[in-house]
Structures are given as structure tokens and as C-alpha cells.
Amino acid sequence: MQTITHKKKLVPVIANITAWICFFALPYLVFFPGLREFNMSNQMLAIIICNNIFLVFFYYLNTQLLIPKLLVQEKWLLYLLSITACLIFFLFIPRQIATYIVPPEIVNPINDVSNSINNNRQRYMRSRRRSGNDYFNTAIFLLVITIGTCITIVRRWLETEQHRKETENEKLNTELSFLKSQINPHFFFNTLNNIYSLAIVRSEKTAPAVMKLSSIMRYILSETEQNLVPLQNEVDFLHNYIDLQQVRLTDKVTVDFKIEGNTGELLIAPLIFISFVENAFKYGISTKEKSSIVIHLKSEGADIHFTSTNFIVQSENNLMENTGIGINNVKRRLALLYPDKHHLTTSEQNGYYLVKLDINTLL
């Protein structure tokens, strides 16, 4: 693990060194034919070396200090003043240091007149050369600063995006874990009571009911840890849930649960449909009058079509208003898992509550 960490730290260093070598070597590679016949003085070489050293210094000063402390903090004026001060420093100080290290060569005069003329001519040529060098050095300095600023901004943006995605993924996983745990705990309590009642009368339904409840608990505790599960597993889970609900139902309630298509090849996020089924049993069953629940699931290619219809039982507590919590949980999960690949509608028609959900499973 430490070796991998050292390699990760070493790669950016090597990349930076390589980039600087290529940057400084590029002019000599492009203009090499002309430079071969150009006799460079020791002082000129010293100036170039000093300029390059200070270019590297100002690059990292800009990327490591000025951008984080000034530009990112939106201190625009201070940043511009700092860059201007660095530019002025770069135009004069490296040249002075190079001149101090390698003084200009002194030519002994032949006579005063010719020497004076030569000196004037040399001063004029040095003045023009220095002016041209200042323009060139300014362009190089601004190029290096601009490249450094762009690279730093892009890198910070990528880091911010990566951090945002990691935060969203962490939030998504936390939220999905919470939402998957929202299956009504009263179901388990009521089911255990029903199984207890079956056991008291020694009903033959006791053992199958225990097995179905065990399958449901195993599915919730283990298989739902996966992001996707086979659609057939989800169908089996719904089958077991509905069978256990029917243990407590009377003849006044009819349940139509139908599956169409091939459910063995598709993958689906677990516990997507259970909230609708749970609400149908919770709010669509009457002990006084006939009621019905219709649940259909159909797979076509990569698409899954789910519909649920239940009779709206009128009660003094107006319990149907509470279905919003479960439905909103499902909407949130669908938005996280199937953005732009699902369509959910809920409505009330002629005393029935209708749910229609279409999901495209191609992620």
C-alpha cells in the first residue's frame, strides 16, 4: 500500500519536471537551424538560466499561493496587483542577478574616437535588444502564468466535481439504505400475530407462513444490500408478502396478482414496488364491505410496467392522506436510481386509487 502511495506522489513530480523540460527546450527545437550559427555569450546564457528559474518560481507561487489565497477568495484587485509586481520583478531582477554573476565582457579600446562611437552604437543596440527582450519576457511570463492559472482552475474544478460526486454517492447510499428500511414494521408485528393465531388452532398454514416470513426477512436483510437484484427475486418477495397478507383477509377481499413476461433476465433496484403494494393492503381493505386489490407486473424487453389498483376505504382518520410519505420515498428512490428512465403516476378514479409505474432498466 505504501509503495502505491509513493508512486501516486511521484507521478505528478515527474510530470511537472517533464513538462518544464519540454517547455524550455521547445524554442531550441523549433529554431534549432538558426541557433546553430548563433554564438551565445556567457552573460546571455546566465540571463536565460535565471529567467527560467524565476519562471518556475513564479509559476508555483501563482498556483500554490496566489490562486488559492487571492483568486479563489475573489480578491481580484490584490491578485492583479500581485501578478503585476511579479512581472516587474521578473523583467529586472533576473537580469541584474545574471549580470552580477557573469559580468559583461570589457573590450580594450583602440582609440578614444572609435571607442566612443562603438560604445554609443553598443548602448543603442543594447537598448533596442533590451526593449525587445522585455516584450518577449513579458509574453513568456504571461503565458506561464496563464497556463498555470488555467491548469489550477481546471484541476480544482475536477477535484470539486469528484468531491461532489463522492458526496452525492455517499448521500445516495445513505438515503437508499434508509429508504429500503422503510417497510412498515407493523407488517412483521401483525404477521407474527397471525402466525401465532394459526399455531393456536394447529392450522396447516402455520409452517408455510413461517417460511414465507423467513424468506421476506432474508430478502430484506441480505439481498437488498445489492444495488440491483433479479426481477424474479423481487417478484418472489411480493408473492410472499401478498400471501402473508391474505392469511388475515376475509372472503370480502379479492386479490388479483398477475405477472407477465420474462422476469428472469432483468435486474431491478430492490424494494421498488413494495410501498405501493403495502399501501394497497393498508388502505384498501374493508372489513364491512367488499373490496379488491389488483396488482399487475409486466416485463417487455428492458421495460417494466407495474400497476396497482385498490378500493379506497373511507375511514374517520382519513388514512389515505398518509400514503404520501411512502409514495414520496419511492419517488425519491426512483429519482436517484432511474433519472429520466421512469414514469410514475398516481390518481384517484371512481373510488379507487391507481398507481402506474414504468421503468426502463437499461442503466
Write the pLDDT tens digit of every residue in 212-248. 888 888 888 787 778 889 999 999 999 998 988 888 7
Q: Is 304 exposed, middle or buried (0-12, 13-18, 19+ CB in 10 A)?
A: buried
Highest mean pLDDT (candidates 34-38, 59-63, 128-132) = 59-63
**Average pLDDT of the chain, as a whole number:** 78
Mean pLDDT of all residues in 16-39: 62
Neighbours of 277 (CB within 10 A): 21
Q: What is the rounded CA–CA span in Å between residue 323 and residue 329?
A: 10
Which cell is 212 given? 414465507
pLDDT bin (cut points 50, 70, 90) of residue 318 is very low
Provide, for the chain, the percentages of residues in helix, strand and coil under a 3-state DSSP scheme, each rounded to the nearest 5: 65, 15, 20
Query: Is 204 a residue whose pLDDT tops 70?
Result: yes
Closest CA to 354 of 310, 303, 320: 310
Mean pLDDT of all residues in 305-330: 70
Q: pLDDT (tens digit, 9 = 90+) per residue, 63-82?
A: 889 988 888 888 889 999 99
Place of cell 426512483: 334
Place of cell 436510481: 337
Query: Is 305 a residue whose pLDDT tops 60?
Result: yes
Taking the CA atoms of residue 20, residue 23, residue 24 and residue 30 in that order, the dihedral angle to the nearest 10 degrees is: 160
Q: Is 205 exposed, middle or buried (0-12, 13-18, 19+ CB in 10 A)?
A: middle
Percent of the chain with pLDDT over 70: 77
Q: Domains of the chain (ranges plus CATH)?
A: 39-175 (no CATH), 181-360 (3.30.565.10)
Sign of CA dihedral 220, 221, 227, 231: negative
Q: Are 330 and 359 in contact (CB under 8 A)?
A: no
Mean pLDDT of all residues in 4-23: 69
Taking the complete model, does pTM exceed 0.75, yes or no? no
The whole-number pLDDT of residue 317 equals 46
